[in-house]
Structure 1
């Protein structure tokens, strides 16, 4: 089985070296792809100095979701069997990603989410993100009947049968979180979670930092979820 770690990076120059070292030490069988989303710092220079990885340097800033989809397209092109979405900010741990990958192989699950909330951990969630997580848990349960404890987790293991269609979506969701999970559940994709440990960001700023960004995220997410729900009622977006 070929497995690829996709790391979208925007202004992560201070974190990338330690992130890659962690993967090499604890998940050596995984290949690494860093997608630099036109960072304003010296992320590109840092990437070029790291040995044993592949990278893509986007010419313009496409945003997190399209940086991820760029990685999906690469995984399809290079015939990977599994990919792992892995943040470049140092919060995700390679040992936990490996545990998720092994679980996915054992259980033959389409998507495995690394959950911060299935059990007690030391992870500190901001006030606004706690509210959002709780709301999205309830919305997903209401619309699909499935409980997802961590719908905003960026740590996911995805099987090829799922990431190939995702790589071809013309308008990939700006925030591929609860909205995309609901759509995939409607399409019959199997989703499971296991409890993982994560660290808090040490350097840099989160894309959901502050007050305004989380509010904008919530409003857009509600809109996307409504669109997914009505498209499902109308028979659109069904798995072909």
Structure 2
């Protein structure tokens, strides 16, 4: 089995060497792909100095979701069986990703989510993120009947038959979180969670930092969820 760690990187120069050291120590069988999203700092220079990693250098800033989809396309092109979405900010742990990967292999799961909330951990969640997570938990349960404790987790293991169509998806969602999970559930993809430990960011700024960004995120997410739900209803109506 070939497995690829996809690591989107935007202004993460201070974190990347530690991220790679962690992966090399705790998940040696995984290949590493950095997607440099036109960083303004010296992220690219740091990546070029790291041995035994591949990278894609985007010419313009496409944002997190399209950086992820770039990684999906790479995984398809080079014949990977599984990929792992892994953040470049040092919050995700390679040992936890390996545990998720082994679980996905053993249970033959399409998507395995690393959950911060299935058990009590030391991870600190901001107030707005807590509110958003709680709301999206309820919405997913209401629309699909499935309980997902951590719908905003960026740590995911994805099987090839799931990421192949996602790599070709036109209009890949700006925030591939609860909305994408709902869509995958409607499509019959098997999704499971296992509890993981995560660290808090040590250097740099989160893409959901402050007050305005989380509010914009929640507004856009509600819009995307409505679109996914309406599309699913329309599809069911056309099948009758």
Which bracket does the TM-score occupy, shorter chain normalised? Answer: over 0.9
* CA deviation vs aligned residue, 1:157-187 (integer Å, no higher than 9, x gap): 0000000000001100000000000000000
Aligned twin of 2:6: 6
2:44 matched to which residue of 1? Answer: 44
CA–CA separation in structure 1 for the residues paired with 2:20 and 2:95: 12
Q: Aligned partners of 1:142 and 1:20: how far apart in 2? A: 39
- In the alignment of these two chains, the number of paired residues is 237
Distance 2:20 2:138 in 1: 35
**TM-score, normalising length from structure 1?**
0.98
Q: Which runs of 5+ in 2 are unaligned?
A: none
Q: How does 1:91-130 map to 2 (within 5 A)?
A: 91-130=91-130
Equivalent residues in 2 for 1:46-85 (5 A)? Answer: 46-85=46-85
Aligned to 1:213: 213
Q: TM-score, normalised by structure 2?
A: 0.98
Distance 1:2 1:103 in 2: 15
Structure 1 stretches of 4+ moved >4 Å = none
Alignment partner, residue 235 of structure 1 = 235
Q: Does 1:200 align with 2:200?
A: yes
CA-atom RMSD, angstroms?
0.9
* Cα separation, 1, equivalents of 2:84 and 2:20: 14
